Structure 1
Amino acid sequence: MNRSLFLTFIISIFVIHLSIAQRKTPLEYIPNGYKLFEKYKGDLNNDNREDIVLIIKDTKQENIIKNRFGDIVDRNRRGIIVILGKEDNYEKVVLNKDCFLSENEDGGVYMPPELCINIEDEKLKIHYGHGRYGYWEYIFKYLESDFKLIGYESSENHGPKVLYQSKIDFIKKEKTLSENITKDPEAEEEIFEIISYDIKIDDLIKLSDIKSFEDLDMTKF
């Protein structure tokens, strides 16, 4: 092997090793002072590559407190990191460090809502389940290098009986409200009165811009 070919070989090996060394694993995107709470996988941008959603949690000691029942609970807030898989690496597209309440918030007379992440049809769904009281869900899609809120759904229940449902399509700028007009709690049949109307919104809400989901008011639409 002549000197030129040998130098080319050495440089190629060096570049390959440097590239491998620079690759980050998804967990390396977690900021200092935070820990992994939950991890989800799925395809969020229709490229047949595995994308990662991390729910992270702050670790401030001052937020570990005694609740009204005398139990020690961790009230640190949680956040989200969305990482897209590339051919040989990952790309972080969303980091929102504290947009979710702690899982140990006081639920009053009932349990606090349970946060769950679903990845379906290249959409990121942030779901809050509240047991017999219903649920609400925020639907995001990857648009223009960020995840934007394209839909919202909620259901207000009384046990197994649905009382009210709400759906917002932010792309079509339309809201649909459904009210169960069967007031008899013993009636098995559910009859809904449905109304739809247009909403006004100039720009879609970015996941990276949401300071706290508990302050995200969907009734204004």
Structure 2
Amino acid sequence: MKIPKPLGEMIPTGYKVIEQIHGDLNKDEQDDVVLIVKKIDKSKIVTDEHGKVVDRNRRGVLIALKNNDTYDMVIKNLSCFSSENEYGGAYFPPELYFNIAKGNLYFHYGHGRYGYWEYTFRYENRDFKLIGYDNSRNRGPIILEVISINFLTEKMLIKKNLKPSEESGKEVFKETWEKFSMPTSIGLSEIHDFDRLYIQRMIEESQ
């Protein structure tokens, strides 16, 4: 994995880059960089419940905005994501995907037949503010409920399947719009653990 030299020098000691994506995040037509990093701690290399040796070091994110031949590191959150090998009990851990589209940064958790949830961030004042959250709760191929939250308009769309016993493709959804108010925005730099970021609970408690 080739990392631009000026950026490689900014990676903290004791961490390795496991993934990188590129795209314009601040509308200056330059290719900014998002690095997913992982701590290097041998004590977190363990044997799991199936006898397999796995790396349970947590993951984090570095975001650097390109400025001609240099980079400006605006986000350094080194442990906000759990390990891809985290123990999930009866469930397998979700797959985490990263994407840049239309200037926004997306963190997408895919959980197979159980659905997915996704966070949308936008650059603002040297941080990335949470502007959207989507959650799909599934039972196999059947969608049971979809929630879409827009933090810019402070509106939430809830789509509930009225016929959950029907086969996939025959869902009938009831749509409900709710208005909410958030006193403060959520910045990526402030998120300590995405696994404990309970969006709907936070909205309910702020009303």
**Matched position secondary structure for 2:18:** strand
**Matched position secondary structure for 2:200:** coil
Q: Residue 55 of structure 1 aligns with which residue?
A: 36
**Structure 1: 4+ residue segments shifted above 6 A:** none
Q: Residue 113 of structure 1 aligns with which residue?
A: 94
Q: Residue 83 of structure 1 aligns with which residue?
A: 64
Work out which of the two has the higher radius of gyration on C-alpha atoms and give 1 or 2.
Answer: 1
Q: Which has the higher helix share?
A: 1
Cα distance in 2 for residues equivalent to 1:115 and 1:34: 19
Structure 2: give runs of 5+ residues left out of the alignment: none
> Residues 109 and 40 from structure 1, CA distance in 2 versus in 1: closer, same or farther, beyond 3 angstroms?
same
Match runs of 1:164-175 below 5 Å: 164-175=145-156
> Residues 198 and 35 from structure 1, CA distance in 2 versus in 1: closer, same or farther, beyond 3 angstroms?
same
> Residues 188 and 171 from structure 1, CA distance in 2 versus in 1: closer, same or farther, beyond 3 angstroms?
closer
Q: Which has the higher strand share?
A: 2
- Residue 211, structure 1, aligned to residue 175, structure 2: no
**Matched position secondary structure for 2:9:** helix
Q: TM-score, normalised by structure 1?
A: 0.86
Cα distance in 2 for residues equivalent to 1:123 and 1:187: 31
Q: TM-score, normalised by structure 2?
A: 0.92
**Matched position secondary structure for 2:195:** helix
Task: Quote the sequence identity (%).
Answer: 43
RMSD between superposed Cα atoms in Å: 1.4
Cα-to-partner distance string for 1:172-210 (whole Å, 9 max, x where unaligned): 111111101112233641111111111121121010010
Work out which of the residue numbers 1, 5, 9 in structure 2 matches 1:28: 9
Structure 1: give runs of 5+ residues left out of the alignment: 1-22
- Residue 146, structure 1, aligned to residue 127, structure 2: yes
Number of residue equivalences? 199
Q: Is the 8 A contact 1:49 1:85 kept in 2?
A: yes
